[in-house]
Amino acid sequence: MSAAITTNAIDEVFARLKESGETALIPFMTMGDPDLETSVALVQAAEAAGAHMIELGIPYSDPLADGPVIQRASERALKNRISLTDCIGVASKAREKGVRMPFIIFTYFNPALQLGLERFFGLLQENGFSGAIIPDLPMEEDAETKEIADRHGIHLIPLVAPTSEARVERIASRASGFVYCVSSLGVTGERSSFHEGIGAFLATVRKAASVPICVGFGISSREQAESLAGQCDGVIVGSAIVRKVEESLPLLIADDADRKAEGIAAVRDFIAALKPQRVG
């Protein structure tokens, strides 16, 4: 039987950031794009750039929440016939390389269900994950999954959107880890502006939640991250980073070690430039 789990690394990071007045920077990356070994190196680069925790995205053939940039990354990764367990293993390999930040898996429900929920969360625990985001698992159907996640010390992190309306307070009030607030309508992707009622929406979530709130979907620059920093505890950047990986592919897949290192550094520097300045 697993030992009782009393702490979670996500909680520890947010407690530390609250004391220092910082906003969490949470990158998203698609695992296996362009290959698993490079994913490990990119996770290392993200931490070196100042990321506080990271979402490891599982490539999926029917990604309902993902825009074209992340869809293309998933297509590239799936050509290598990688599995969910391969992607979960990236976390432990990154730990072996010295990465210390919390890992959060971002996957759709079917892959986890096919693996078996007990085995899925057991593997997350064994490989050092602290959280899971399953965007197509609604609150009304997550009781069994949440119970298993809790037992393995994994925060099941909910998404909430401006269109969630009456469900916003219910979702936020039962969240663990943090609440993932969707800044814009539609799928993931870079945007020049957010939902016009974003301020009131975040205030509603803040009032209902007892855990930190973070904003994602559409953030692609430091200016956008800083514009939201005063209203949330963390910003999540996905498509803009995945696009940078895509732009750097000629370097990342090079056989020459120096050229590959140049590609890793380009992604690292891009992530570093996204980090919001300290507030307060």
* pLDDT tens sequence across 136-190: 999 999 999 999 999 999 999 999 988 877 788 889 888 999 999 998 765 555 5
- On whether residue 4 sits in a domain, the answer given is no
Q: What is the CATH number of the domain that holds 247?
A: 3.20.20.70
Amino acid, res. 61: S
With a cut of 80, say whether residue 194 has pLDDT above it: no
262: pLDDT confidence band, cut at 50, 70 and 90?
Answer: very high
Q: Are strands 24-30 and 155-156 parallel, antiparallel or unpaired?
A: unpaired
22, 33, 55, 233: the active-site residue:
55
Round the average pLDDT of the chain to a whole number and report it: 91
DSSP for residue 177: S
18: pLDDT confidence band, cut at 50, 70 and 90?
Answer: very high
What's the structural domain count of the chain? 1
* 246 carries an active-site annotation: no
User: Domain of 119?
Assistant: 22-274
pLDDT, mean of residues 231-243: 95
Helices (H) and strands (E) in the chain, counts: 13, 9
CA–CA distance, 48 with 268 (Å, rounded to integer): 7
CB 212 within 8 A of CB 14: yes
Bridge partners, 101 (sequence order) = none
* Segment 88-104, tens digit of pLDDT: 999 999 999 999 999 99
Q: What's the pLDDT score for residue 45? A: 98
- On whether residue 42 sits in a domain, the answer given is yes
22, 66, 233, 246: the active-site residue:
66
1: pLDDT confidence band, cut at 50, 70 and 90?
Answer: very low
From the list 203, 104, 215, the residue with the least C-alpha distance to 159 is 215
Q: Is the dihedral of CA 272, 155, 162, 138 positive or negative?
A: positive
Q: What's the pLDDT score for residue 280? A: 47
Contacts of 10 (CB under 8 A, 6+ apart): 53, 102, 104, 130, 131, 155, 177, 178
Token couple for 109 = 């429900």
* 66 carries an active-site annotation: yes
- On whether residue 79 sits in a domain, the answer given is yes
* Segment 28-57, tens digit of pLDDT: 999 999 999 999 999 999 999 999 999 999
* In the chain, % of residues over pLDDT 90: 74
Bridge partners, 156 (sequence order) = 132
| Kind plus residue range of the DSSP H or E element containing 26 | strand 24-30
- On whether residue 8 sits in a domain, the answer given is no
- Mapped onto helix, strand or coil, the DSSP state of residue 210 is coil
From the list 275, 184, 279, the residue with the least C-alpha distance to 225 is 275
192: pLDDT confidence band, cut at 50, 70 and 90?
Answer: low
- Mapped onto helix, strand or coil, the DSSP state of residue 234 is strand
- On whether residue 1 sits in a domain, the answer given is no
Residue 36: Cβ-neighbour burial (10 angstroms; 0-12, 13-18, 19+)? middle
Entry pTM: 0.92
CB 157 within 8 A of CB 175: yes
2: pLDDT confidence band, cut at 50, 70 and 90?
Answer: very low
Cα–chain center distance at 260: 24
CA–CA distance, 105 with 91 (Å, rounded to integer): 9
